[in-house]
Structures are given as C-alpha cells and as structure tokens.
C-alpha cells in the first residue's frame, strides 16, 4: 500500500510538471495549442509604489501587516500566561525567547547579554515575518490597474535625459493627447479582461504573446494611449490595458525598509557603546589624536561603522528582491508546480536572513560595549 502511494505521488507530480512545462512560457514558445497557462511576465520595479487613495507605498502596507501579525502573536501568547504552559503558542514563544537569551548570555555573559535581547529579538521577528508575508498568495499579484496614461507619466521621468524626448510638450494634453517621449511610449502594458457587472479586472491564462491580433496580452503604451487605454482592434477590442500595481508587496524588497532596519540596528549599537563605556571613551574609538596612527585607525573605524549600515541594507534587500524575481520568473516559465520548491526555499531564506541580521546586531553590540583593552 505504501509503495502504491509513493508511485501515485510520483506519477501525479510528473503529470503536473509536464502540464506546467507545456502550459507555461516554454510551451508557448513551441506554439500551437500549448502555452494555455502562459501569462505576460510581471512588471518588476525596485522602489515601492504609492497606492492611490491611501498615500503610502505597498511595501509599507505589507510591513504594517507584518507588525500587526507580531502584535497578535504577542497578545495571544501572553493572554493567559501560565507558569507551566499548556498551549502551543506560549510554548513556541517561550522557546524562541529562551533561545535568544541563552545565545546573548553565552556571547556577552551574564546580565550584560540580556540588554541586547529585546532589540535583537524584535529585529529577528520583524525581518522574519516580513519575509514570510511576502511569500503569501496574493502578495504582488492582487492590486490596482494603472491605465496607460498613468504608466506613461511615471515612466517619462526615467528618460528625462534621453535625447529622443521633446521636453517642451512631454506631458499629456487632455484634448490632443500629445505624447513625445519615445522610450516611455515603448513601455509594455498588459491586457486585462473585465468581470461583467463587478467592475473588476483579471488576467486570463494563455495570454502571454505580444501580438494582440492573435489574442496576445502585451502591448506598448503608444498603441492604446489615445484610446482611453483600451484595445481598439482585434479579438481583444475594448479590453483595458495597463500595469498591475500590487496592494501588497514584500516589505524587504524595498531598499527603504532594509535601510531603516539597518539604521535602527546601528544606532542601537552606538547607544550601547556610549552607555557602557561613556561618551569620551567610546568616542576615542573614532576620534583619537594621541598619535597619527591612532587617528588613521579612528577614520577606518568610522568607515567600518558606515559600511555596516550599507552591508546590512543591501544583504537583506538583495536576497529578498532576488527571491521575488526568481518566483516571478518561475511562475512565468513553470506555472503552478514550478514555483512550489522555490517558495519553500524562500521560506528558508527568510529565516536565515532574519537570523543573520539579528545575530550581526548582537555581535556588533557586544563588540561596542567591550573596552579597547578587551579587543
């Protein structure tokens, strides 16, 4: 019976993988009836996008959602505290707190180590939950459709130094629809279908081609910008074109988020150092005029502190943004089944990155509180 189940699982996933290959972009490249799950590759953008009507970025909204989840975990795990916990959530939270306390004490020793735990654990939870929320279904795939005119206004500024842009009349005129920035006009849009009676739009499967005449789903801004962002010919006539602006997007795929966490971490490290050694003693680490050599060492120490902020920021951002791009690419190449192992990988990477960020904060904090004679 066990062997039968194993064979069934192997056959099932083999069939799903075959369907995924034939139905995705690989099958679409072959042609014919293949590519029945193919969709245009998602728009990838570095900075977070501002959500109309709310005034905040989608990455900030996701960060707030992650913080709300953390507060909920804290509330429900401490609501009925017991000396001998019998609930799984309290057990899990106590085990996590105990792990960080033991780790801090083993590195810094005694009560001195406990001072680092609140911030180090907070950073770990914030980074971890933000990373995991970014993998949830709907994050990056459900949002608002920006019409062609809005996309044009956003993209024209990217080409402000391009000689092909005539900047005397580069903006939209509501009556004559004058658009002159050639690179911005070549920006790609996606064609969406409307849900009858609901005012909602969706991207149907099997629309990954770029030829609208054949039912493809990718067009340039120039083709639709004078027709209220709608296709005016072919089998998709009347359908809305635009670019999806996700309501939620992974918080740590925004450089601003990772920079903010890095600044908080390193400001705390300086605070711990000043509190332990005093302003004069700790400041001599960076400004020391006792000798030319020590003055040069102080400059190197200052550079090292700044470089830590930069490395913190780009390490977390690079890993999480790269993971997001990987998931987008795999969904494009192998719909459904192809993304499953990579989602598991992203969950694992999320834990590792949170642990690295929090552990480095702990190590730097311990080093900052050590006197010069202890180095």
Higher pLDDT, 214 or 216: 216
Q: What per-residue confidence (pLDDT) applies to 168?
A: 47
Burial class of residue 172 (count of CB atoms within 10 Å of its CB; 0-12, 13-18, 19+): middle
Q: Determine how β-strand 218-220 pairs with β-strand 188-195.
A: antiparallel
CA distances to 28, 33, 43, 177 from 37, in Å? 9, 11, 18, 36
pLDDT in tens, 70-121: 999 999 888 887 777 777 888 888 999 999 999 999 888 777 888 999 999 9
| Mean pLDDT, the chain, whole residue set | 82
Give the orientation angle of helix 58-78 with respect to helix 255-277, to 10 degrees. Answer: 50
- Give the pLDDT mean for 348-374: 87
Please state the φ and ψ torsions of residue 201, each to the nearest 5 degrees: -125, 150
Rounded distance between C-alpha atoms, residue 320 and residue 252, angstroms? 6
Rounded distance between C-alpha atoms, residue 317 and residue 252, angstroms? 6
Q: What per-residue confidence (pLDDT) applies to 83?
A: 76
Give the whole-number percent of the chain exceeding pLDDT 90.
29
Rounded distance between C-alpha atoms, residue 184 and residue 93, angstroms? 51
Q: Which of 107-121, 172-186, 231-245, 350-364 has the lowest average pLDDT? A: 172-186
pLDDT at 173 over 50: no
Name the pLDDT band for 214 (thresholds 50, 70, 90). low
pLDDT in tens, 226-250: 777 888 777 777 788 888 888 999 9
- Give the pLDDT mean for 118-132: 94
Parse the chain into domains and list their residue ranges.
58-81+93-137+251-374, 143-246
Higher pLDDT, 87 or 51: 51
Q: Which of 100-114, 164-178, 204-218 has the lowest average pLDDT? A: 164-178
Q: Is 179 helix (H, G, I), strand (E, B) or coil?
A: coil
Give pTM, 2 decimals: 0.84
Q: Which of 20-24, 299-303, 349-353 has the lowest average pLDDT? A: 20-24
pLDDT at 373 over 60: no
Rounded distance between C-alpha atoms, residue 7 and residue 24, angstroms? 25
> Is the Cα torsion angle 108, 111, 112, 117 positive or negative in sign?
positive
pLDDT at 190 over 60: yes
């Amino acid at each position: 019976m066990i062997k039968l189940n194993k064979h069934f699982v192997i056959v099932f996933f083999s069939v799903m993988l075959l369907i995924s290959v034939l139905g995705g972009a690989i099958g679409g490249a072959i042609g014919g009836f293949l590519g029945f799950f193919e969709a245009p590759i998602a728009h990838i953008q570095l900075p977070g996008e501002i959500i109309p009507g709310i005034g905040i970025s989608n990455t900030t909204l996701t960060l707030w959602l992650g913080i709300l989840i953390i507060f909920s975990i804290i509330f429900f795990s401490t609501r009925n505290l017991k000396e001998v916990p019998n609930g799984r959530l309290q057990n899990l939270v106590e085990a996590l707190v105990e792990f960080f306390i033991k780790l801090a004490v083993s590195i810094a020793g005694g009560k001195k180590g406990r001072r680092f735990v609140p911030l180090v654990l907070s950073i770990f939870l914030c980074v971890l939950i933000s990373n995991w929320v970014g993998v949830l279904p709907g994050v990056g795939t459900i949002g608002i459709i920006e019409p062609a005119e809005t996309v044009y206004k956003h993209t024209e500024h990217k080409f402000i130094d391009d000689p092909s842009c005539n900047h005397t009349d580069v903006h939209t005129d509501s009556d004559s629809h004058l658009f002159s920035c050639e690179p911005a006009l070549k920006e790609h849009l996606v064609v969406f279908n409307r849900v009858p009676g609901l005012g909602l739009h969706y991207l149907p499967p099997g629309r990954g081609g770029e030829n609208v005449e054949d039912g493809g789903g990718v067009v340039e801004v120039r083709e639709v910008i004078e027709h209220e962002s709608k296709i005016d010919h072919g089998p998709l006539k009347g359908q809305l074109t635009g670019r999806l602006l996700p309501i939620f997007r992974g918080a740590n795929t925004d450089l601003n988020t990772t920079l903010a966490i890095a600044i908080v971490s390193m400001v705390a490290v300086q605070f711990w150092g000043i509190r332990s050694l005093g302003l004069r003693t700790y400041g001599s680490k960076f400004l020391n005029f006792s000798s030319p050599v020590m003055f040069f060492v102080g400059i190197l120490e200052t550079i090292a502190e700044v470089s830590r902020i930069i490395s913190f920021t780009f390490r977390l951002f690079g890993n999480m943004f790269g993971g997001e791009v990987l998931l987008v690419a795999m969904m494009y190449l192998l719909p459904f089944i192809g993304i499953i192992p990579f989602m598991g990988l992203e969950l694992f990477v999320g834990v590792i990155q949170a642990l690295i960020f929090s552990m480095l904060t702990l190590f730097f904090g311990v080093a900052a509180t050590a006197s010069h004679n202890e180095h």
